[in-house]
Amino acid sequence: MAEITLKGLAHAYTKTPTGAADYAIRHMDHVWHQGGAYALLGPSGCGKSTLLNIISGLLEPSDGDVLFDGHRVNELPPEERNIAQVFQFPVIYDTMTVFDNLAFPLRNMNTPEYRVKPKVLEVADILELTPLLWRKAKNLTADEKQKVSMGRGLVRDDVTAILFDEPLTVIDPQLKWKLRRKLKEIHERFNITMIYVTHDQLEASTFADKIAVMYEGQVVQFGTPRELFERPAHTFVGYFIGSPGMNFMAVEYRAEQVMFGAQPLPVTEQLKRDVAGATSTNIKLGIRPEFITISTSSMADSVPIQIVSVQDLGTYSLLTFKLNEQTFKARLPEGHPPVSEQAYAHFEHAKVALYIDEYLVEIGHE
């Protein structure tokens, strides 16, 4: 029904953009498949809301095309696209009852009343709004209001995609998971494409099958939550996903060694060759806190470190240490023997990732 394709998309809020900094969205190609549950994840100001508004038609992109099933819809206003959008702050029509709120989009399309009623009742039932149908929408709680604004998207038969712009911001924490489960349920039931904008990685990974991570106006990685964790395609993804994020070391190739400042790093021969062969000087190695082993005595392929602190977080402990004057984090499993101030760290070879110019390079490709 609706596959949403972004082709060479770029958007600047100024009329005559002078540099890359003026673009909220930089050159972007992307496809959202019909029926998928997607999340658009990124820090505030990375352009995710802009992208959402371009898809819904509230904004016209300054460059590139938005295609719905291969048809260019750049100039189509939102009212003529088959999409619905749920905003950060619940938008409801204060003076109407919940029933009239839900019926509003249908009545705007001149749907006969005998078809409005069953549809509204059905959607109200799914969203558990039935007991509230005759209440004034003004007096609802925040989560009920948000359900009403979601419901206005669901009543329309022609809606093939619903866009969510951080919809749980104003919802009480204990109700968030309930609403998120409701969303998931609706997705499975209606075969609707859902794109969910958030800056919360937990929210993104519990809701979405696939997550697009945005950074400075670009999608830097599009993958399953597992892929984002295991193979971050960009240093930003490594840093942003996981708690805590990935550790990075800026390295160079000196005296036939991979050097992190004054500290030679024990790495595989292949990685050494790749670092030596790199043309750029922006070379970084990344390692997740989960894949660092700490021991009190020196062992093979380990480097000496200084422990700064250990924090017990229940199921695991978070260790902060210093190497070459830079702070690192490591996750110690429960029951790990206590560590002294002087210790040694071992980076699991297979989990060390190489980034050149901030992007992931497959080790041993060349």
Partner 1 sequence: MNNKVPNNRAWLLVLPMLVLVAFSAVIPLMTVVNYSVQDVLGPNARFFTGTEWFQSILNNSALQAAFLRQISFSLIILAIQIPLGIGIALIMPKRGWQASAVLILITLPLLIPWNVVGSIWQIFTRGDIGLMGWSLRELGINYNITRNAGDAWATIILMDVWHWTPLVAMLCYSGLRSIPEAYYQAARIDRASKWAVFRYIQLPKLTNVLVIAVLLRFMHSFMIYAEPFVLTGGGPGSSTTFLSQSLATMAIGQQDLGPSAAFSLIYFLVILLVSWVFYTTIMNMQKDKPPHGGA
Partner 2 sequence: MSYQLENSQRGEKYNTIFSKVTPAQRRNRNARSRWRARLLLGLYLVLMILPIYWLINMSLQTNSEILGSMTLWPQNLTFDNYIGIFTNPSWYMGYVNSMLYVAMNMLITICVALPAAYAFSRYTFIGDKHLFFWLLTNLMAPPAVFLLPYFQLYYSVGLFDTHIAVALAHCLFNIPLAIWILEGFMSSVPKEIDETAYIDGYSFPKFFIKIFIPMIRSGIGVTLFFLFMFSWVELLLARTLTATSAQPIGMIMTRTSTASGIDWGTLAAAGVLTIIPGILVVYFVRNHIAKGFALGRT
Footprint (CB under 8 A) of partner 2, residues 209-268 = 219-223, 233-234
Amino acid at 4: I
Asked if 111 is part of the footprint of partner 1 (rule: CB under 8 A), the reply reads no
Interface mask (CB under 8 A) for partner 2, residues 135-174, using x and -?
A: -----------------------x----------------
Interface mask (CB under 8 A) for partner 2, residues 108-127, using x and -?
A: -x------------------
* Binds 29: which of partner 2, partner 1, none (CB < 5-8 Å by kind): partner 2
Residue 260, sorted as left (phi over 0), alpha (psi -120 to 50) or beta, turns out to be beta
* 44 vs 297, beta carbon nearer partner 1: 44
SS (H, E, C) the chain: CCCEEEEEEEEECCCCCCCHHHEEEEEEEEEECCCCEEEEECCCCCCHHHHHHHHHCCCCCCEEEEEECCEECCCCCHHHCCEEEECCCCCCCCCCEHHHHHHHHHHHCCCCHHHHHHHHHHHHHHCCCHHHCCCEHHHCCHHHHHHHHHHHHHCCCCCCEEEEECCCCCCCHHHHHHHHHHHHHHHHHHCCEEEEEECCHHHHHHHCCEEEEEECCEEEEEECHHHHHHCCCEHHHHHHCCCCCCEEEECEEECCEEEECCEECCCCHHHHHHHHHCCCCCEEEEECHHHEEEECCCCCCEEEEEEEEEEECCCEEEEEEEECCEEEEEEEECCCCCCCCEEEEEECHHHCEEEECCEEECCCCC
* Number of residues in contact with partner 1 under rule CB under 8 A: 33
Out of 139, 243, 282, 311, point to the residue binding partner 1 (CB under 8 A).
139
* 199 vs 234, beta carbon nearer partner 2: 234
* 185 vs 362, beta carbon nearer partner 2: 362
* 68 vs 321, beta carbon nearer partner 2: 68
* 87 vs 253, beta carbon nearer partner 1: 87
Out of 76, 133, 142, 175, point to the residue binding partner 2 (CB under 8 A).
76
Asked if 105 is part of the footprint of partner 1 (rule: CB under 8 A), the reply reads yes
Whether 239 and 230 have beta carbons less than 8 Å apart is answered as no
* Binds 149: which of partner 1, partner 2, none (CB < 5-8 Å by kind): partner 1
Tell me how far, at minimum, the Cβ of 264 lies from partner 2, in Å.
28
Which tokens in the block code for residue 20? 């890359």
Asked if 48 is part of the footprint of partner 1 (rule: CB under 8 A), the reply reads no
User: For residues 345 and 301, what is the distance between their CA atoms, to the nearest angstrom?
Assistant: 9
Stretch that binds partner 1, among 76-84, 169-177, 274-282, 350-358 (CB under 8 A): 76-84
Out of 75, 94, 113, 325, point to the residue binding partner 2 (CB under 8 A).
75
Amino acid at 311: Q
Asked if 76 is part of the footprint of partner 1 (rule: CB under 8 A), the reply reads no
* Binds 39: which of partner 2, partner 1, none (CB < 5-8 Å by kind): none
Asked if 366 is part of the footprint of partner 2 (rule: CB under 8 A), the reply reads no
Name which of 39, 34, 14, 35 is nearest 24 in CA terms: 14
Asked if 284 is part of the footprint of partner 2 (rule: CB under 8 A), the reply reads no
Across the beta sheet with 292-295, the strand order is 292-295, 342-347, 302-312, 316-323, 326-333
Asked if 113 is part of the footprint of partner 1 (rule: CB under 8 A), the reply reads no
Interface mask (CB under 8 A) for partner 2, residues 28-57, using x and -?
A: -xxx-xx-----------------------
Residues making contact with partner 1 (CB under 8 A):
53, 56, 58, 77-79, 83-85, 87-89, 91, 93-96, 104-105, 108-109, 130-136, 138-139, 149, 152-153
Residues in contact with partner 2 by the rule CB under 8 A: 1-3, 5, 7, 29-31, 33-34, 67-71, 73, 75-77, 79-80, 82, 109, 158, 219-223, 233-234, 359-360
